[in-house]
Amino acid sequence: MTENHETPDRALGRPRATTHDVLAEIGVELFTSRGYEHVSVQQIADAAGVSRRTFFRYFPTKADLPWGDFAREVERLRGELALVPDGVPLMEAVRHAVVEFNRVPPEAVDQHRARLGLILTEPELIARSQVKFLDWRGVIAEFTARRLDMEPTSFFPELVGEVALSAAVAAYRQWIPSSDTDLTTFIDTAFAALVDLDRLEQGVAAQLSTRLDPPAGPQENHDHRDNPGNAGEERQ
Protein backbone atom coordinates (compact mmCIF):
# COMPACT_ATOMS: atom_id res chain seq x y z
CA MET A 1 0.00 0.00 0.00
CA THR A 2 1.70 3.10 1.27
CA GLU A 3 4.50 1.13 2.81
CA ASN A 4 7.50 -0.72 1.56
CA HIS A 5 9.07 2.25 -0.22
CA GLU A 6 11.62 2.71 2.50
CA THR A 7 14.65 1.69 0.46
CA PRO A 8 13.59 0.71 -3.03
CA ASP A 9 16.42 2.01 -5.19
CA ARG A 10 17.55 5.13 -3.33
CA ALA A 11 18.11 7.13 -6.44
CA LEU A 12 17.13 10.64 -7.23
CA GLY A 13 14.90 13.37 -5.86
CA ARG A 14 14.85 15.13 -2.52
CA PRO A 15 15.79 12.78 0.33
CA ARG A 16 13.12 11.71 2.79
CA ALA A 17 12.87 13.62 6.00
CA THR A 18 11.63 10.76 8.19
CA THR A 19 10.57 7.11 8.28
CA HIS A 20 7.48 5.11 9.03
CA ASP A 21 9.30 3.60 11.97
CA VAL A 22 10.38 6.94 13.41
CA LEU A 23 6.89 8.39 13.19
CA ALA A 24 5.36 5.25 14.65
CA GLU A 25 7.77 5.18 17.55
CA ILE A 26 7.22 8.83 18.42
CA GLY A 27 3.48 8.39 18.04
CA VAL A 28 3.17 5.33 20.25
CA GLU A 29 5.32 7.03 22.87
CA LEU A 30 3.08 10.09 22.93
CA PHE A 31 -0.10 8.06 22.83
CA THR A 32 0.86 5.90 25.79
CA SER A 33 2.04 8.82 27.88
CA ARG A 34 -0.69 11.38 27.16
CA GLY A 35 -3.53 9.33 25.72
CA TYR A 36 -4.47 8.91 22.09
CA GLU A 37 -7.07 11.65 21.91
CA HIS A 38 -4.92 14.22 23.61
CA VAL A 39 -2.19 13.96 21.01
CA SER A 40 -2.72 15.78 17.72
CA VAL A 41 -1.08 14.87 14.46
CA GLN A 42 0.48 18.31 14.55
CA GLN A 43 2.29 17.43 17.75
CA ILE A 44 3.59 14.18 16.33
CA ALA A 45 4.78 15.92 13.22
CA ASP A 46 6.52 18.59 15.28
CA ALA A 47 8.22 15.97 17.42
CA ALA A 48 9.49 14.31 14.25
CA GLY A 49 10.59 17.60 12.71
CA VAL A 50 8.21 17.26 9.85
CA SER A 51 5.19 19.12 8.56
CA ARG A 52 1.67 17.91 9.28
CA ARG A 53 1.13 17.45 5.59
CA THR A 54 4.08 15.12 5.35
CA PHE A 55 2.77 12.98 8.19
CA PHE A 56 -0.25 12.17 6.11
CA ARG A 57 1.99 11.12 3.25
CA TYR A 58 3.42 8.39 5.47
CA PHE A 59 0.25 7.32 7.23
CA PRO A 60 -3.20 7.65 5.72
CA THR A 61 -4.71 8.06 9.17
CA LYS A 62 -3.67 8.95 12.67
CA ALA A 63 -5.11 5.60 13.73
CA ASP A 64 -2.75 3.72 11.40
CA LEU A 65 0.27 4.85 13.35
CA PRO A 66 0.49 2.03 15.94
CA TRP A 67 0.26 -0.58 13.20
CA GLY A 68 3.58 0.19 11.64
CA ASP A 69 4.11 -1.66 8.38
CA PHE A 70 1.27 -4.08 8.88
CA ALA A 71 1.12 -5.10 5.24
CA ARG A 72 4.54 -6.66 5.71
CA GLU A 73 3.31 -8.52 8.77
CA VAL A 74 0.39 -9.91 6.84
CA GLU A 75 2.83 -11.22 4.26
CA ARG A 76 4.72 -12.89 7.06
CA LEU A 77 1.54 -14.66 8.09
CA ARG A 78 1.06 -15.78 4.51
CA GLY A 79 4.58 -17.13 4.57
CA GLU A 80 3.97 -19.10 7.76
CA LEU A 81 0.95 -20.73 6.17
CA ALA A 82 2.90 -21.60 3.06
CA LEU A 83 5.45 -23.43 5.17
CA VAL A 84 2.91 -25.86 6.60
CA PRO A 85 2.97 -29.27 4.90
CA ASP A 86 -0.15 -30.26 3.01
CA GLY A 87 -0.78 -33.22 5.25
CA VAL A 88 -1.47 -31.18 8.36
CA PRO A 89 -5.20 -30.83 9.06
CA LEU A 90 -6.73 -27.45 8.29
CA MET A 91 -7.25 -25.98 11.74
CA GLU A 92 -4.00 -27.46 12.97
CA ALA A 93 -2.22 -25.70 10.11
CA VAL A 94 -3.92 -22.41 10.84
CA ARG A 95 -3.19 -22.73 14.50
CA HIS A 96 0.45 -23.41 13.92
CA ALA A 97 0.85 -20.54 11.48
CA VAL A 98 -0.87 -18.05 13.77
CA VAL A 99 1.20 -19.17 16.72
CA GLU A 100 4.44 -18.80 14.80
CA PHE A 101 3.27 -15.49 13.40
CA ASN A 102 2.84 -14.20 16.94
CA ARG A 103 6.26 -15.19 18.18
CA VAL A 104 8.07 -11.98 19.12
CA PRO A 105 11.74 -11.73 20.05
CA PRO A 106 12.21 -11.11 23.78
CA GLU A 107 13.66 -7.64 23.33
CA ALA A 108 10.62 -6.51 21.37
CA VAL A 109 8.03 -7.83 23.80
CA ASP A 110 7.49 -4.65 25.78
CA GLN A 111 7.03 -2.50 22.71
CA HIS A 112 4.70 -5.05 21.17
CA ARG A 113 2.63 -5.15 24.32
CA ALA A 114 2.38 -1.37 24.31
CA ARG A 115 1.15 -1.32 20.73
CA LEU A 116 -1.40 -4.04 21.23
CA GLY A 117 -2.52 -2.40 24.44
CA LEU A 118 -3.22 0.78 22.55
CA ILE A 119 -4.88 -0.95 19.64
CA LEU A 120 -7.27 -2.95 21.81
CA THR A 121 -8.02 -0.23 24.34
CA GLU A 122 -8.49 3.11 22.63
CA PRO A 123 -11.91 3.19 20.95
CA GLU A 124 -10.77 4.83 17.74
CA LEU A 125 -7.99 2.29 17.42
CA ILE A 126 -10.29 -0.60 18.21
CA ALA A 127 -12.40 0.65 15.36
CA ARG A 128 -9.52 0.92 12.96
CA SER A 129 -8.40 -2.61 13.82
CA GLN A 130 -11.38 -4.06 12.02
CA VAL A 131 -10.19 -2.47 8.79
CA LYS A 132 -6.54 -3.31 9.32
CA PHE A 133 -7.36 -6.95 9.98
CA LEU A 134 -9.27 -7.29 6.71
CA ASP A 135 -6.18 -8.48 4.88
CA TRP A 136 -5.16 -10.69 7.79
CA ARG A 137 -8.46 -12.52 7.62
CA GLY A 138 -8.15 -12.59 3.87
CA VAL A 139 -4.88 -14.51 4.07
CA ILE A 140 -6.44 -17.15 6.29
CA ALA A 141 -9.47 -17.30 4.04
CA GLU A 142 -7.30 -17.81 0.97
CA PHE A 143 -5.41 -20.62 2.59
CA THR A 144 -8.62 -22.27 3.75
CA ALA A 145 -10.12 -21.82 0.30
CA ARG A 146 -7.25 -23.68 -1.32
CA ARG A 147 -7.56 -26.47 1.21
CA LEU A 148 -11.30 -26.84 0.75
CA ASP A 149 -11.20 -26.17 -2.98
CA MET A 150 -13.59 -23.22 -2.73
CA GLU A 151 -13.63 -19.52 -3.48
CA PRO A 152 -11.91 -17.37 -0.85
CA THR A 153 -15.07 -15.31 -0.46
CA SER A 154 -17.33 -18.27 0.15
CA PHE A 155 -18.75 -19.19 3.50
CA PHE A 156 -16.28 -21.49 5.21
CA PRO A 157 -13.08 -19.77 4.20
CA GLU A 158 -14.45 -16.47 5.46
CA LEU A 159 -15.67 -18.13 8.61
CA VAL A 160 -12.31 -19.67 9.34
CA GLY A 161 -10.60 -16.33 8.75
CA GLU A 162 -13.02 -14.64 11.07
CA VAL A 163 -12.74 -17.27 13.76
CA ALA A 164 -8.97 -17.46 13.64
CA LEU A 165 -8.77 -13.74 14.16
CA SER A 166 -11.19 -14.04 17.06
CA ALA A 167 -8.95 -16.53 18.77
CA ALA A 168 -5.93 -14.31 18.25
CA VAL A 169 -7.66 -11.20 19.54
CA ALA A 170 -9.02 -12.96 22.61
CA ALA A 171 -5.51 -14.18 23.29
CA TYR A 172 -4.08 -10.68 22.85
CA ARG A 173 -6.57 -9.26 25.32
CA GLN A 174 -5.53 -11.74 27.99
CA TRP A 175 -1.85 -11.40 27.27
CA ILE A 176 -1.64 -7.63 27.45
CA PRO A 177 -1.99 -7.27 31.22
CA SER A 178 -0.23 -10.53 32.07
CA SER A 179 3.52 -10.09 32.01
CA ASP A 180 4.35 -13.67 32.99
CA THR A 181 2.98 -15.87 30.26
CA ASP A 182 4.21 -15.98 26.70
CA LEU A 183 1.90 -14.69 23.99
CA THR A 184 2.19 -17.86 21.97
CA THR A 185 0.85 -19.84 24.91
CA PHE A 186 -2.31 -17.78 24.90
CA ILE A 187 -2.69 -18.12 21.17
CA ASP A 188 -2.21 -21.84 21.34
CA THR A 189 -4.70 -22.21 24.17
CA ALA A 190 -7.25 -20.15 22.30
CA PHE A 191 -7.04 -22.45 19.30
CA ALA A 192 -7.20 -25.50 21.50
CA ALA A 193 -10.43 -24.18 23.01
CA LEU A 194 -11.69 -23.36 19.53
CA VAL A 195 -11.43 -26.94 18.42
CA ASP A 196 -12.99 -28.20 21.62
CA LEU A 197 -15.71 -25.61 21.60
CA ASP A 198 -18.56 -28.08 21.79
CA ARG A 199 -17.06 -29.68 24.86
CA LEU A 200 -16.49 -26.39 26.58
CA GLU A 201 -18.31 -26.81 29.85
CA GLN A 202 -17.20 -26.18 33.40
CA GLY A 203 -14.83 -29.10 33.70
CA VAL A 204 -13.10 -28.71 30.38
CA ALA A 205 -12.69 -24.98 30.70
CA ALA A 206 -11.10 -25.28 34.12
CA GLN A 207 -8.75 -27.93 32.81
CA LEU A 208 -7.64 -25.83 29.87
CA SER A 209 -7.11 -22.89 32.17
CA THR A 210 -4.44 -24.69 34.14
CA ARG A 211 -2.05 -24.06 31.29
CA LEU A 212 -2.32 -20.32 31.79
CA ASP A 213 -2.26 -19.92 35.55
CA PRO A 214 1.43 -20.59 36.03
CA PRO A 215 2.80 -23.56 37.91
CA ALA A 216 0.31 -25.47 40.00
CA GLY A 217 1.64 -28.95 39.87
CA PRO A 218 2.27 -31.51 37.15
CA GLN A 219 0.80 -30.27 33.86
CA GLU A 220 -0.90 -32.91 31.88
CA ASN A 221 0.55 -33.13 28.49
CA HIS A 222 -2.01 -31.77 26.13
CA ASP A 223 0.52 -32.63 23.50
CA HIS A 224 0.30 -30.73 20.30
CA ARG A 225 3.16 -31.90 18.20
CA ASP A 226 6.40 -30.59 19.55
CA ASN A 227 4.60 -28.19 21.81
CA PRO A 228 5.23 -24.89 20.07
CA GLY A 229 3.20 -22.90 22.54
CA ASN A 230 5.22 -23.32 25.68
CA ALA A 231 8.48 -21.90 24.50
CA GLY A 232 9.83 -18.48 25.21
CA GLU A 233 9.25 -18.14 28.89
CA GLU A 234 12.75 -18.90 30.02
CA ARG A 235 14.42 -16.76 27.45
CA GLN A 236 14.74 -13.39 29.20
Partner DNA sequence: AGACTAAATGACACAGGGTGCCAATGCAAT
Partner DNA sequence: ATTGCATTGGCACCCTGTGTCATTTAGTCT
Specify the DSSP class assigned to residue 181. S
5 CA to centre of own chain:
22
CB of 164 to a copy of itself, least distance (A): 9
- Among 20, 23, 186, 187, the residue binding a copy of itself under the rule CB under 8 A is 186
Torsion sign over Cα 169, 170, 173, 174:
negative
**Residues at the site binding DNA, with contacts judged by CB under 7 A:** 5, 11-18, 39-42, 49-54, 56-58, 60-63
Q: Of 12-20, 24-32, 49-57, 198-206, which part binds a copy of itself (CB under 8 A)?
A: 198-206
Can residue 91 be called a binding residue for a copy of itself (CB under 8 A)? yes
Site string for a copy of itself, 132-151 (x = CB under 8 A): --x------------xxxx-
CA distance 152 to 157: 6
Can residue 9 be called a binding residue for a copy of itself (CB under 8 A)? no
Enumerate residues 6+ apart whose C-beta is below 8 A from 69.
Answer: 3, 4, 20
Q: Which is nearer to DNA, 45 or 94 (CB)?
A: 45
CB of 48 to DNA, least distance (A): 9
Can residue 90 be called a binding residue for a copy of itself (CB under 8 A)? yes
CA distance 172 to 167: 9
Encode 133-142: b = buried (16+ Cβ within 10 Å), e = exposed.
Answer: bebbbbbbbb
